Amino acid sequence: MTVQIPDAKKSWPHTINELTIGATAETGGTRASTVVVGGETTLPFYHFEGSMPNAPVVAMEVWDIPPEDWPEPLQAPFADVMSEPGTWAAACVERHGAQMICLRLKGCDPNGANRSPDEAAAAAKRVADAVGVPLIVWGCGNDDKDNEVFPVVAEAMSGENCLLGTITEDNYKTLTAVGTAYGHKLIAESPVDINMAKQVNILALDVEYPAENLVIYPSTGALGYGIEYVYSIMERLRIAGLKGDKVVAMPMLCDIGVEVWGVKEAKAPEAEVPGWGDVATRGPMWEASTAVVYLLAGADILIMRHPEAVRMTLETIRRLMGGGGTQ
Amino acid sequence: MILIGERINAGFKDIANAIRTKDPTAVEKWAVAQAEAGATYLDVNIGAASRDPADMAWLVETVQKAVPTKISVDSTKIEAIEAGLDAIDGRGVLVNSTTADPGKLEKIIPLAVKHEAMLLGLAMDERGSPQNVERRVENGAMVFMAATEAGIPPERIVLDPILMPIKFMQEQVPNVLEAIEQYTHLSDPPPHISVGLSNIGSKTAERGRIVRTFLVMAMARGLDAAILDVCDEETIAAVATAELMLNQEIYSDSYIRAFRIKAGGSA
């Protein structure tokens, strides 16, 4: 007797927004390439059911000042380039295949080096000059300072169609205005809270920043540190978007490296945690594992740090997109 | 929630006048106002103002020129429905309505099939309006079966259990609520379920409260469509809030604004 397997395919009424980051000479920028994300008509990698026209992309993280607190396994691959953001960015692209660069303006933090907006803009220019891939520029996280820095950085990057972040429920007016004025896309951030994720998007729309230019950043938790909460939020956002909730039908971004390399599972040397294995292998594995979980949750952009984790993640994306073969 | 805007109906004087004089102003005004308020469909009804099916075609064409919203062609007369459907420019359309009367079903269902339309079926039959739950369910099931047999999928069928004025037929309100719930068990996915919402508040002193309270109670039982005054902001806010309670939409502080963005209307 033949058992009839019911056809479980679903047809979703709405498509996730498709968004281009970066601009080549033809579109008024200086990038050698652009990145397109989003455009899904189904859940992640459900190729049997719908279309996922754009593969998720990996951005590698570069700072405007050399990071002092990065653990040794993370410093080692960049030891020769970290002193300068341009050379660091170039190494990420040329040696490790980064598809985007995320410049994090840590140096602007008023509780740290407290660099000026002009210094931040100069760092962004150096990165832009050094690489041809599209750029993400991420603020230092201090709202007041970011609101001073972004107008200057956004103007310096005018025409490059960068992705700037982040806007939050409490701080969105400056960055939405700057994004509109200089033609940049924006990252909408919320603290592991689906309701606030929706709210910040509505606030951006209310100041007439176009929904099509937003990327959702629902916060990120490392493997073992609340990853399942973020996963379920991303899954719910994506399902709502596919069902027709235009306010959440955006591509999603996960900030992997910063979370993973803050947890002991990724960075504690074996001497401190006997039996956990060599940190040089364990750290990148932890980062790649975290990244893959978020790919399955619907992430379109991953910001990562370790070259080996990036390699494993890019290979996983290739295979999930139907590339075949073995690692 | 499928929101069917009730205002382009010759029961209203300005629309009756528009039909008589062929002055499109009032029709255009209500088409735009209801579309901006988030109507999924605009109901178009020539009522008793005209016996000429050409007037239905004129009304449909006038609405189509004003807005891109889908249209509900509403008449008890088959010829008027046919004229309205023939005037549709390819946009989505709802046939409003058939009853469970076999003579009517056999004429209206082929029209819905031909025009790939949604079909609204009233739980009435040749004996008139239902006075209990059983008749409502029986008639609703009759429409559902006939439409399904003709190849119309449940997603394109809308059942209406016949809502009556609370002031005159109070005992019927619980019957309507119970019939709504029973309709949800007809199939998986179930058909859509609608009521003529304004009926319940007819001639009452607390019309708005009565309409909104019934609406929310009925949504809890499975109502997912209504012919209503979409320009009533409080009613639309009640719909948006009830959708949150049913976990059909993600909560946000600005959820009413989100509801309007989703409905395609202005804020």
C-alpha pair distances (Å), A267 with each of A140, A280, A291, B9: 23, 9, 16, 71
Q: Identify the pLDDT of residue B264.
A: 72
Nearest to A245 among B254, B262, B267 (CB): B262
Residue in B with minimal Cα distance to A198: B252
Cβ contact B219:B246 at 8 Å? yes
Residue A282 domain flag: yes
Q: Identify the pLDDT of residue B267.
A: 38
Q: Identify the pLDDT of residue B69.
A: 97
Report how far residue A232's alpha carbon sits from residue A252's, in angstroms, rounded to the nearest whole number. Answer: 13
Q: What is the mean pLDDT of residues A53-73?
A: 96
Portion 220-259 of B in contact with A at CB < 8 A: 249-255, 257-258
Residue A205 domain flag: yes
Q: Identify the pLDDT of residue B265.
A: 52
Cβ contact A253:A301 at 8 Å? yes
- Which amino acid appears at position A203 of this protein? L
Task: Looking at the complex, report in whole angstroms how far the Cα of residue B27 sits from the nearest Cα belonging to chain A.
Answer: 29
Report how far residue A276's alpha carbon sits from residue B253's, in angstroms, rounded to the nearest whole number. Answer: 45
**Which one-letter DSSP state was computed for residue B125?**
B
At B192-203, the pLDDT tens digits run: 999 999 999 999
- The alpha carbon torsion through A199, A202, A206, A208 (nearest 10 deg) reads 140
CB contacts, 8 Å: B255 with chain A? 198
Residue in A with minimal Cα distance to B253: A199
Cβ contact B10:B16 at 8 Å? yes
Q: Identify the pLDDT of residue A7.
A: 83
At B209-232, the pLDDT tens digits run: 999 999 999 999 999 999 999 999
Beta-carbon count within 10 A of A270 CB? 14
At A79-130, the pLDDT tens digits run: 999 999 999 999 999 999 999 999 999 999 999 999 999 999 999 999 999 9
With residues binned 3-state (H G I as helix, E B as strand, rest as coil), the percentages for chain B, rounded to 5, are 50, 15, 35
Residue A168 domain flag: yes
Q: Please state, for a pLDDT cut of 70, what percent of chain B lies above it.
A: 99
Whole-model pTM: value is: 0.88
Task: Looking at the complex, report in whole angstroms how far the Cα of residue B45 sits from the nearest Cα belonging to chain A.
Answer: 29
Report how far residue B41's alpha carbon sits from residue A277's, in angstroms, rounded to the nearest whole number. Answer: 63
Quick one: A153 exposed, middle or buried, by C-beta within 10 A (0-12, 13-18, 19+)?
buried
Portion 219-238 of A in contact with B at CB < 8 A: 236-237
With a cut of 60, say whether residue A194 has pLDDT above it.
yes
Residue A326 domain flag: no
Residue A301 domain flag: yes
* pLDDT, chain A, mean: 96
At B120-143, the pLDDT tens digits run: 999 999 999 999 999 999 999 999
Give the mutation candidate from B252, B253, B256, B261 for the A interface (greatest A CB count, under 10 A).
Answer: B252
Preceding amide of A166 cis, omega within 30: yes
Residue A49 domain flag: yes
With a cut of 60, say whether residue B24 has pLDDT above it.
yes
Q: Identify the pLDDT of residue A252.
A: 98
At A139-161, the pLDDT tens digits run: 999 999 999 999 999 999 999 99
Q: Identify the pLDDT of residue A326.
A: 54
Q: Identify the pLDDT of residue A327.
A: 46
User: Are residues B252 and A202, on separate chains, in Cβ contact within 8 Å?
Assistant: yes
User: Are residues B250 and A246, on separate chains, in Cβ contact within 8 Å?
Assistant: no
Largest CA distance in chain B: 51
At A258-267, the pLDDT tens digits run: 999 999 999 9
Q: Identify the pLDDT of residue A323.
A: 80
CB contacts, 8 Å: B262 with chain A? 244-247
Q: Is A326 helix (H, G, I), strand (E, B) or coil?
A: coil
Residue A65 structural domain = 18-317
CB contact, 8 Å: A244 with chain B? yes
Q: Where are the domains of chain B?
A: 2-263
Cβ contact A59:A257 at 8 Å? no
Buried b (16+ CB within 10 A) or exposed e, B27-64: bbebbebbbbbbbbbbbbbbbebbeebebbbbbbbbbb
ipTM of this predicted structure: 0.79
Residue A8 domain flag: no
Q: Identify the pLDDT of residue B110.
A: 98
Kind plus residue range of the DSSP H or E element containing A236: helix A227-243
CATH number of the domain residue A281 falls in: 3.20.20.20
With a cut of 60, say whether residue B266 has pLDDT above it.
no
Cβ contact B52:B82 at 8 Å? no
Residue A175 domain flag: yes
**What's the structural domain count of chain A?**
1
Q: What is the mean pLDDT of residues A314-326?
A: 87
* pLDDT, chain B, mean: 96
Preceding amide of B189 cis, omega within 30: yes
At B150-180, the pLDDT tens digits run: 999 999 999 999 999 999 999 999 999 999 9
User: Are residues B262 and A244, on separate chains, in Cβ contact within 8 Å?
Assistant: yes
With a cut of 80, say whether residue B97 has pLDDT above it.
yes
With a cut of 80, say whether residue A61 has pLDDT above it.
yes
| Homologous superfamily assigned to B2-263 | Dihydropteroate synthase-like (3.20.20.20)
At A217-241, the pLDDT tens digits run: 999 999 999 999 999 999 999 999 9
